[in-house]
Amino acid sequence: MGKYFGTDGFRGEANKDLTFDHAIKIGRFLGWYYGANQGKKAKVVIGKDTRRSSYMFEYALCTGLMASGADAYIMHVTTTPSVAYIARVDDFDCGIMISASHNPFYDNGIKLLNGNGEKMDEETILKVEDYIDGRIDIPIATREEIGRTVDYVEGRNRYIGHLISMSKYSFKGVKVGLDCANGAAWQIAKGIFDALGAKTYVMNAEPDGLNINTNCGSTHIEHLQKFVVDNKLDVGFAYDGDADRCLGVDEKGNVITGDHTLYIYGLYMKERGKLLNNKVVTTVMSNFGLYKALDKVGIEYEKTAVGDKYVYENMVQTGNRLGGEQSGHTIFLKYETTGDGILTSLKLMEVMLAKKKPMSELAAPVVFYPQVLKNVRVNSKPDAQNDPDVQHAVKLVADTLGDTGRILVRESGTEPVIRVMVEAESDDICEKYVDEVIDVIKEKGHLSK
């Protein structure tokens, strides 16, 4: 991770951590780097979510791009995966998504994608940061070299057509609830489900610039749970602010997490001979119950660090075709390069219709283990993590749990915090073993004062 950009872009409170000036400079550098620097005029596609500041950052990025001689193609309010898709299929030099995902409205972010629709490589990100900090000088475009903006709503429409075309079944007669989080999915998701024949019930699709993710969407799934039960729906899907993740709700009101999705669709692929390598890719935060369920049906798995970036990297390196996070980022590598909440919901619908089973039955084999996670503020994350006595305490817990649970101790990527997590057969067991490890961290003097 760089000075400004983390694993999912440059993110922070709008005009405090991430400012209008930052956006202009990012546009300036990308417009030059992919354009005049290579002796051509750059083409960059831009999308945004519904938060108030997204419009400001859109104009700032366009200003920077045009000042460096690039043409900025504006998709307006759209999803992160749509920008990734269009960057790839319409031959753009790069893509930019303005969103802070599931964060509150006053935060925002700038996500950079390469021409293949993948997250931008670290080397280019570091060059962007060097320009922001004044360590690189680049020329400004003049006369006919100045860039222009192009209204590119057709790109969003092409993405919608892409998703509709992937459905193998009519949704006619299926009652579906959608929670659009007052975010990027609000103009897209309902139209897709309607086009496929579903009886679509929508909530939180009235964005006002300030209500994105507010008590709605995948981070507040309880509202969709009630909505599905109250309206006697067959299934429900909740997206986050930029719609790159999806959580579901079955007809009984139970939550369908990203782990459930990996099991449901992984088994469906295996049964049709489509699960290459017989593996799904998870992160270390997937629930132990997922692994037990996968073991029972003979599906293998890999574990990566937390972050869909690492899931995608593993999939590219190994050829695995399905991966994701418990939080709802699911990557279907055959179709897209990033998590796509709407695609995920369509794929879950496909399994329901193909197997003629309710979502509750499809998800039933994944029985989540109780989990306790505690954060410990420490003076030095590496010192605490690598302390022999702490490692010994962790090993004792792991050996004691055996195949009835697991322990995970990891460093926070953004705070001076060690996270201690235990999954086991009861909350009491989880609590006991988490506290045992934390007591050793405390006894060895690692706690910050």
Q: State how far the Cα of 290 lies from the Cα of 280, in Å rounded to an integer.
A: 11
- Widest pairwise Cα distance in the chain: 72
- H helices of 319-386, in order, are 341-355, 359-363, 381-386
Q: State how far the Cα of 263 lies from the Cα of 96, in Å rounded to an integer.
A: 32
Instruction: Give the DSSP letter of residue 369.
Output: P
Q: How many other CB atoms are found less than 10 A from the CB of residue 427?
A: 12
Q: State how far the Cα of 333 lies from the Cα of 324, in Å rounded to an integer.
A: 11
State how beta strands 71-77 and 43-48 pair. parallel
- Please choose, from the candidates 246, 250, 218, 278, the residue with its C-alpha nearest in 3D space to the C-alpha of residue 363: 250
Percent composition of the chain: helix, strand, coil (DSSP 3-state, to 5): 45, 20, 35
The answer to whether residue 412 is catalytic is no
Q: How many other CB atoms are found less than 10 A from the CB of residue 400?
A: 14
Query: Cα dihedral sign for 351, 293, 272, 316?
Result: positive
CA distances from 275 to 118, 157, 254 (A): 22, 30, 27
State how beta strands 235-239 and 175-179 pair. parallel
- Please choose, from the candidates 313, 258, 304, 309, the residue with its C-alpha nearest in 3D space to the C-alpha of residue 282: 304
Q: State how far the Cα of 334 lies from the Cα of 327, in Å rounded to an integer.
A: 21
Q: What angle, 0 to 180 degrees and rounded to 10, lies between the N-to-C axes of helices 341-355 and 153-165? A: 20
Residue 307, C-beta contacts closer than 8 angstroms, at least 6 positions apart: 7, 8, 283, 325
Catalytic residue, chosen from 54, 101, 327, 345, is: 101
> What's the distance, CA 44 to chain centroid?
22
Catalytic residues: 101
